[in-house]
């Protein structure tokens, strides 16, 4: 009787061990199938190539390393954001304040004429031809006088918005440059030859009614030359002259 009981106990223990082993094996296979199914159908770039059939080992290793590097960078960025949130949390809220469209200020508008120089004030083409002819003269320094010097300065200032200086300009007449900085005369010359507002905008309409353009547009200096702006902030609200 004792031998039979020992056989039954050993059989039960061995059977339970086999059942647990088989259950663990099924669970392992199930996890593998789930992982393969996820890798094949996920939208994460690179991961499907690791388990796809027909892909070489080199390609699988490459995509595996790429995926690990991407996840590492992602985790690093998330940790930085989390640390920043823990050290200096900032909550942004939007306070809604509904107003009628009529009370919304019209945006600032800047109009720059395509023509930078009025021909009646300064014939840029004719002066370019004349100055190019002067620059070809090797004895230009001998005929340099105050009138010619002012003419060359005027041409240089207008060229800032109308074209480019001839290659010989600075080499033929270097004595007219005392320093490398411009003074207020540049603005004066550009303003003198710039098109006037009434030459391209006579009547403006705001909210369905005509308004004289001179009342709403102000002259401003930009990198495009003299332009006209409306609804701009005042200079003291844009610039600070603190010492």
Q: What average pLDDT does the segment 19-30 reach?
A: 76
Q: Is a pLDDT exceeding 60 seen at residue 162? A: yes
- Across the range 13-31, mean pLDDT stands at 70
Domain count, the chain: 2
- Greater pLDDT, 174 or 205: 205
- Buried b / exposed e across 101-128, counting CB within 10 Å, b at 16+? eeeeeeeeeeebbeebbbeeebebeebb
Domain boundary among 86, 118, 146: 86
Residues 156 and 44 in one domain: no
Average pLDDT of the segment spanning 104-122: 86
**pLDDT tens profile 151-160:** 888 888 888 8
Quick check: 227 and 217 in contact, CB under 8 A?
A: no
Kindly tell me if the per-residue pLDDT of 76 is higher than 90. yes
Report the pLDDT value the prediction gives residue 156, as an integer from 0 to 100. 83
- CA–CA distance, 20 with 37 (Å, rounded to integer): 25
In this structure, the answer to whether residues 113 and 201 fall within a common structural domain is yes
CB 110 within 8 A of CB 227: yes
Q: Are residues 124 and 43 in the same domain?
A: no
Higher pLDDT, 23 or 119: 119
Which among 48, 71, 86 is the end of a domain? 86
Mean predicted lDDT score pLDDT of the chain: 78
Instruction: Mark whether 80 and 113 lie in a shared domain.
Output: no
Q: What angle do CA 16, 21, 26 make, to 5 degrees?
A: 125
Let me know whether 127 and 61 are in one domain: no
Is residue 153 within 8 Å of 185, Cβ to Cβ?
yes
pLDDT exceeds 80 at position 117: yes
Confidence band for 138, pLDDT divided at 50, 70 and 90 = low
Expressed as residue numbers, the domain containing 127 is 109-238
Higher pLDDT, 163 or 129: 129
Verify that 138 and 79 share a domain, yes or no. no
Burial class (CB in 10 A: 0-12, 13-18, 19+), 234: exposed
DSSP-H helix ranges across the chain? 2-41, 48-51, 57-87, 124-135, 146-162, 169-172, 185-193, 213-216, 235-238
Query: What's the pLDDT score for residue 2?
Result: 46
93 is a domain residue: no
Residue 50 counted as domain residue: yes
Do 72 and 115 share a domain, yes or no? no
CA distance 48 to 36: 9
User: Nearest-CA neighbor of 156 among 140, 137, 139, 135?
Assistant: 135
61 and 155 housed in the same domain: no
Q: How much is the pLDDT for 73?
A: 92
Q: For residue 99, tell me if it sits in a domain.
A: no
């Amino acid at each position: 009787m004792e031998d039979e009981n020992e056989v039954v106990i050993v059989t039960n223990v061995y059977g339970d061990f086999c059942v647990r082993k088989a259950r663990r094996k099924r669970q392992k296979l199930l996890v593998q199938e789930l992982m393969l199914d996820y890798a094949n159908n996920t939208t994460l770039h690179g991961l499907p190539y690791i388990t796809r059939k027909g892909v070489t080992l080199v390609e699988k290793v490459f995509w595996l390393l790429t995926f690990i590097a991407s996840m590492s960078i992602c985790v690093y960025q998330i940790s930085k954001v989390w640390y920043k949130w823990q050290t200096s949390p900032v909550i942004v809220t939007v306070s809604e304040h509904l107003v009628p469209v009529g009370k919304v200020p019209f945006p600032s508008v800047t109009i720059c004429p395509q023509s930078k120089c009025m021909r009646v004030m300064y014939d840029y083409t004719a002066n370019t031809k004349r100055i190019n002819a002067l620059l070809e003269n090797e004895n230009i320094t001998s005929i340099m006088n105050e009138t010619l010097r002012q003419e060359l300065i005027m041409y240089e200032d207008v060229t800032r918005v109308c074209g480019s200086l001839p290659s010989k300009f600075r080499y033929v007449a270097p004595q007219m440059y005392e320093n490398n900085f411009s003074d207020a005369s540049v603005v004066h010359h550009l303003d003198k030859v710039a098109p006037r507002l009434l030459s391209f905008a006579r009547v403006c309409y705001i909210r369905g009614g005509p308004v004289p353009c001179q009342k709403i547009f102000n002259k401003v200096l930009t990198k495009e030359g003299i332009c006209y702006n409306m609804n701009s902030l005042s200079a003291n609200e844009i610039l600070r002259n603190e010492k």
